[in-house]
Amino acid sequence: MSAIKEQPRSTRAGFERQSRSGAWIESLRCSDVSRLWAELHRLVSHHPLVRASRSAGLLIEEGTHNAYTDLTQELFVQLLSKGRFQHYLDTEMTNAEIECEVGQIELTNLLTAELRKRHPESYRLARRISTLIQSSANFCRFDTSGIDDEPHRRLADRIYGLSEWPLNKPRRDSNDLEQRIKMIAVRQRDTRMVGCTGDSQIVIGNADLEDLIISVLEAADAPVDVRALRSLVMSRLPVMDIYLVPLGGDDADDGGNQFEPVDGGDDPEQGLMRRESEREAANFVDGFLKSLHETVRGKVKQYNRMLGVLWHCYLSPDHATQLEVAATLGVSDSLVSDYRRRIEQELRSLSFGEIEEARQFEMALRERVRALVLVGDEEGVPV
């Protein structure tokens, strides 16, 4: 009896989906571009992710209508270039299937790609936060009773909290949450490079990120939906989203003002001063290395070790620890400490008139010591 009742219900739901869908097939067969455009604009205007993108600053054009129009144009061009319109006809997809694919797949992918391009670090951190709260045993959902037939809820709307809390723990309003989170210090940025191309900074490790999420929830003392939780956690992180925008654009076509980038090169006077500072820095380097040589009484082996300590502890981009440097050079930790004391003593004896002189000295010293270390490695000297 229940099966007999459910069959008309599913059929009625299918009819409702068909009635809500646009006339995609008829528009494609007739090549009615205006009608296709209207259907795409309707999808764009009512898509929930489009509204979220506006709040994230993606749709920055003047007025809602212009923003939706530009996004519709981009979606139309993408579907046309990929040959999706012809694919819909060849595979005999229904209006409901076409609308589902365009709205839930093509438009979503377009917005996600734009979000990843304009806000790369925020996008990656939001994904990592979502993954952690779903996979870690420290967190659990507070909006589900564990029954499989519950209605589907988008991830951003799901409510999470600490697993040790009771399931009936009350929530708090957004203003109260923001005030409570201010007591948490902003984490220091982790500048280690990660990614396939090695051009992205990690910002914060997974273990530290999980600790930060726990700290945020403890300060909130209430379950929080995923969207708000991601925002609160990232407010405690030094996120830098850099989006490069080309200069000029189409202003020349419109007869408007044209902007030229400032020439970042040196003028003749700056070039002369730079060369003089480089020569002075080289003289400082010669005097500094001579002083180091004198501290070990001209002994070659000790001098090479001191250069190794200078390179690995102060100049190398690897930033090795003192114990690692001692192991690399094959000496004791106390000897490395003694060499560092001598090096710092000689550094303190230097006197620079301006910060730029100190920078030039550092660059010149790094290049000189790098060359000496490479020569020492080729000759088999432990540097």
If 0-12 CB within 10 Å is exposed, 13-18 middle and 19+ buried, where does residue 383 land?
buried
Across the chain, mean pLDDT equals 79
Q: By C-alpha distance, which of 300, 299, 296, 328 is closest to 312?
A: 328
For the stretch 313-353, pLDDT in tens is 888 877 778 888 888 888 888 888 888 888 888 888 877 66
Tell me what pLDDT residue 2 has. 40
* Range of lowest pLDDT (32-46, 193-207, 325-339): 193-207
CA distance 225 to 265: 51
Question: Which pair of tokens denotes residue 64?
Answer: 């809602």
- Chain-centroid distance of CA 281 in Å reads 37
Strand partners, 193: 201
* Range of lowest pLDDT (39-43, 48-52, 60-64, 213-217): 60-64
Cβ atoms within 10 Å of 135's Cβ, excluding its own: 10
Question: Which pair of tokens denotes residue 370?
Answer: 């790098």
Read off the pTM: 0.52
For the stretch 347-382, pLDDT in tens is 888 776 667 777 777 888 888 888 887 765 555 544
* Residue bearing the bigger pLDDT, 207 or 149: 207
For the stretch 203-221, pLDDT in tens is 899 999 999 999 999 999 9
Q: By C-alpha distance, which of 112, 116, 128, 101 is closest to 40?
A: 101
What are the residues whose beta carbons fall under 8 Å from the beta carbon of 183, sequence distance 6 or more?
Answer: 219
Alpha helix ranges (H) inside the chain: 2-20, 24-29, 33-46, 48-55, 64-81, 84-90, 95-101, 107-118, 120-135, 174-181, 206-220, 226-234, 268-295, 300-310, 322-329, 333-348, 355-378
Distances from the Cα of 52 to the Cα of 29, 108, 112, 219, angstroms: 34, 11, 11, 26
- CB–CB of 2/10 below 8 Å? no
The order of strands in the sheet holding 139-141 is 139-141, 159-162, 224-225
